[in-house]
Amino acid sequence: MKRSPSSHKGENGKVAIIGGSRYMHGAPIFSALATEASGVDLIYVVIPDWHENTAKGYSPNFQVCPFATDDDLCYADVESILGLLATMDCAVLGPGVNHANEESIASLIQIIEGASCSLVLDAAALQPDTLKAIKGKNAVLTPHLGELERMKLTEKDMEKSAKTSGATILLKGEKDIIVGPNNKEEIKGGNAGLTVGGTGDVLAGLICGLMAQKMEAFEAAVLGAKIMKAAADKLEKDKGYAFTAMDVVGEIGGLVKKLN
C-alpha cells in the first residue's frame, strides 16, 4: 500500500472490530489480526469483558474496549460504539456476535444505521434488514451461501441488491463472486483448507484494513479474496489441508505487497 513518507500515526488506517460473545472469542480476534497484518496504524477491539485479556494477549497493538455487560452486545453499547466509529476509517461488525440474542442483533442494526465510517459486515451483521440499514453507506458484505439466504437473497439477487444499496457483496465459496453497484468479478483458486474456522473472519478484517488505507470497497473485496485464495494455495503446498486461520494471517503481509 502506498503512503506518504511524512504521514503520522493514525493517518494510515484506524479500524474497529465489533464482535464476540460469551462462548465466541476467536472470531473478532481473527478479524483484528488480519487488519493488523494488512498494515493499518490503529486497531480497536470491542468485545465481551470475558475476553479482554485474551485479546490483549494476541497483540500489544490492540486497544480493547469491553461491552457494557459481560456477555453479549446490547442496547447499552450502541451509543458508545457509534462514538468510537465516528473516529474510525473502517469497522468490522458481526463476527462472533450471538445470533440467538435478539437484542444483540437489533443493536447491530442500530449501529449499522448510525455508523459514519466505512463498514465490513459479516456473520451476525448479515440479517434481512441489513441492506436497508446499509443503504447509501460505503460498505462490503461478506456472506457465505447460508448467510445470503438468511438475508432473503439468492445469487441472482446480488447485482440488483448492490445497485439499490450501493454496497459491495462478496459471496464466499469455491469461486468467490463479488458484485458492486457497477462491477462484478469472480475469483477462482484456493482450496478446501479454507473451510477451517476463522477464515471468514480473517477475510472481513483484511478487507476492512484495505479500505481503512483508502482502497475503494470493490477493489478491497477483490484483493482480499485473491489474497485469501493465494494464501490457501501456498499453505496447502506446505501443510496439506492442516493449516489454520492463524496460518492464513501470517501470509497476508507478503501477499498484500505482491498482489497489490
- Checking if the pLDDT of 6 tops 90, the result is no
DSSP for 182-207 reads S-EEEE----GGGGSTTHHHHHHHHH
pTM for this predicted structure: 0.97
| Alpha-carbon distance values, 60 to 42, 45, 210 (Å) | 11, 12, 21
> CA–CA separation, 100 vs 108, rounded Å?
13
pLDDT of residue 173: 95
First to last CA, the chain: 7
Handedness of CA 131, 123, 218, 212 (dihedral sign): positive
| Alpha-carbon distance values, 23 to 26, 34, 35, 120, 184 (Å) | 9, 21, 23, 22, 37
User: Nearest to residue 205, comparing CAs of 144, 147, 253, 249?
Assistant: 249
pLDDT of residue 25: 94
The cell for 86 is 465516528
Average pLDDT over the chain, rounded to an integer: 96
Q: Cα torsion for 113, 109, 55, 70, to the nearest 10°? A: 120
Domain coordinates in residue numbering, the chain: 14-255
Query: 8-45, pLDDT tens digit by residue?
Result: 887 899 999 999 999 999 999 999 999 999 999 999 99
How many C-beta neighbours within 10 Å does residue 182 have?
8
User: What residues have CB less than 8 Å from 80, skipping those under 6 apart?
Assistant: 65, 68
Backbone angles phi, psi at 20, to 5 degrees: 90, 160
- Checking if the pLDDT of 239 tops 90, the result is yes
For the purposes of burial, counting CB atoms within 10 Å of the CB of 208, is it exposed (0-12), middle (13-18) or buried (19 or more)? Answer: buried
Domain covering 14-255 in this structure, CATH number: 3.40.1190.20
Query: 126-185, pLDDT tens digit by residue?
Result: 999 999 999 999 999 999 999 999 999 999 999 999 999 999 999 999 999 999 999 999
Confidence class of residue 110 from pLDDT cuts 50, 70 and 90?
A: very high
Query: 175-220, pLDDT tens digit by residue?
Result: 999 999 999 999 999 999 999 999 999 999 999 999 999 999 999 9
Strands 184-187, 118-121: parallel, antiparallel or unpaired by DSSP? unpaired
